[in-house]
């Protein structure tokens, strides 16, 4: 039986815990890392608190805002270690409005693409960021062929966006391990399988080939265990989806992995052109280690907060 989520557009509060642990079979003498872990404040999301902890203690831990407006942390550790742990704990309030498909249908795909090329509507730099190809969103002939079936120029935009997430959800199987961070969209289209990262990249690619912005969004989504089963600690995961901009300035977020528009179960961490812009943690280490293991534990915990 499907979970009863109630009103998925009502205000919700969450505590998000995200812990990344690396273990090495020899000492790491120096570690340099960049992380995108602090959630963004948006029109639909208020960040109440955020805390980042690093073990062993960081010699340098700084924060800046990157080109896309994401919070980026630089971590430098010069203490010898065989284990590195980076933990984030955030509390957020989330309220996503329901997408009015009929309202979005006031534009066709072609009309929206044309209006978004107007510098008075969308800055040229931002337009280029989300309409040109990127490292992981290559606009190959296979992507163009797939997009042409869903996003023809004269189709009402709202209907086209619904068909985009429904088509990817229907045509592709969710299979952990079927792809890697180097898998191309052409390979995803050939294998018809992948994970949320692949489906978000594909949706972004389909939007970009028809001249619409395709933005890759990284974050979390509340999940629930099967009926009668307890929710295991650390069993949640990061999530990815896609957003596109309307000519009136709003962004619409769609999730082809779960077959619907984003709602108040979605928590935004960062966005960019593709996964490489928003990786939760990446870096360089100096070590003689030949083996390492990675463990990621995520908990998305609903909180009871009084309405304001």
Report residue 267 as tokens. Answer: 């928590």
Q: Could you give phi then psi for residue 193, rounded to 5 degrees?
A: -155, 155
Q: Please count the other Cβ atoms lying within 10 Å of the Cβ belonging to residue 234.
A: 14
Q: Could you give phi then psi for residue 182, rounded to 5 degrees?
A: -100, 0
- For residue 289, what pLDDT is reported? 94
pLDDT tens-digit map of 199-237: 999 999 999 999 999 999 999 999 887 776 777 666 688
Q: 260's torsion region: left (phi>0), alpha (psi -120 to 50) or beta?
A: beta
- Based on the number of CB atoms within 10 Å of its own CB, is 49 exposed (0-12), middle (13-18) or buried (19 or more)? exposed
Cα(4)–Cα(83) distance, integer angstroms: 41
Sign of torsion over alpha carbons 191, 212, 277, 170: negative
What Å distances lie between residue 154 and 140, 219, 250, CA to CA?
Answer: 22, 33, 21
pLDDT tens, N- to C-terminus, the chain (308 residues): 456 678 999 999 999 999 999 999 999 999 999 999 999 999 999 999 999 999 999 999 999 999 999 999 999 999 999 999 999 999 999 999 999 999 999 999 999 999 999 999 999 999 999 999 999 999 999 999 999 999 999 999 999 999 999 999 999 999 998 888 788 999 999 999 999 999 999 999 999 999 999 999 999 999 887 776 777 666 688 999 999 999 999 999 999 999 999 999 999 999 999 999 999 999 999 999 999 999 999 999 999 754 44
Task: Report the DSSP beta bridge partners of residue 253.
Answer: 243
Element (H, E) at 114: helix 109-115
- For residue 229, what pLDDT is reported? 74
Sign of torsion over alpha carbons 273, 274, 275, 276: negative
Domains and CATH numbers, the chain: 12-94+280-303 (2.60.40.2250), 101-278 (3.10.620.30)
pLDDT tens-digit map of 106-125: 999 999 999 999 999 999 99
Cis (ω within 30 of 0) for the bond into 56?
yes
Cα(219)–Cα(38) distance, integer angstroms: 10
Cα(174)–Cα(162) distance, integer angstroms: 19
Cα(284)–Cα(137) distance, integer angstroms: 24
- For residue 177, what pLDDT is reported? 87
């Amino acid at each position: 039986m499907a979970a009863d989520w109630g009103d998925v557009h009502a205000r919700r509060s969450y505590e998000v815990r995200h812990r990344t642990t690396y273990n090495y079979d020899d000492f790491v003498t120096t570690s340099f890392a960049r992380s995108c872990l602090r959630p963004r404040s948006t029109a639909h999301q208020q960040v109440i608190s955020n805390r980042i902890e690093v073990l062993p203690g960081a010699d340098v831990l700084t924060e800046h805002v990157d080109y896309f407006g994401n919070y980026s942390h630089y971590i430098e550790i010069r203490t010898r270690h065989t284990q590195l742990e980076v933990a984030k704990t955030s509390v957020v309030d989330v309220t996503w409005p329901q997408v009015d498909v009929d309202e979005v249908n006031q534009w066709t795909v072609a009309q929206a693409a044309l209006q978004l090329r107007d510098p008075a509507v969308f800055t040229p730099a931002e337009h280029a960021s989300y309409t040109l190809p990127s490292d992981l969103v290559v606009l190959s002939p296979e992507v163009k062929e797939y997009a042409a079936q869903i996003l023809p120029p004269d189709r009402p935009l709202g209907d086209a966006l619904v068909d985009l997430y429904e088509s990817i959800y229907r045509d592709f199987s969710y299979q952990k391990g079927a792809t890697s961070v180097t898998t191309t969209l052409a390979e995803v289209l050939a294998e018809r399988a992948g994970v949320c990262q692949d489906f978000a990249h594909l949706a972004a690619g389909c939007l970009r080939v028809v001249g619409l912005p395709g933005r890759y969004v990284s974050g979390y989504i509340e999940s629930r265990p099967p009926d009668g089963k307890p929710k295991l600690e650390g069993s949640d995961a990061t999530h990815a989806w896609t957003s596109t901009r309307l000519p009136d300035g709003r962004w619409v977020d769609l999730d082809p992995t779960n077959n619907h528009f984003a709602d108040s179960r979605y928590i935004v961490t960062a966005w960019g052109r593709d996964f490489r812009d928003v990786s939760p943690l990446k870096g360089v280490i100096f070590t003689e280690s030949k083996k390492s293991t990675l463990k990621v534990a995520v908990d998305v915990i609903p909180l009871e907060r009084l309405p304001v």
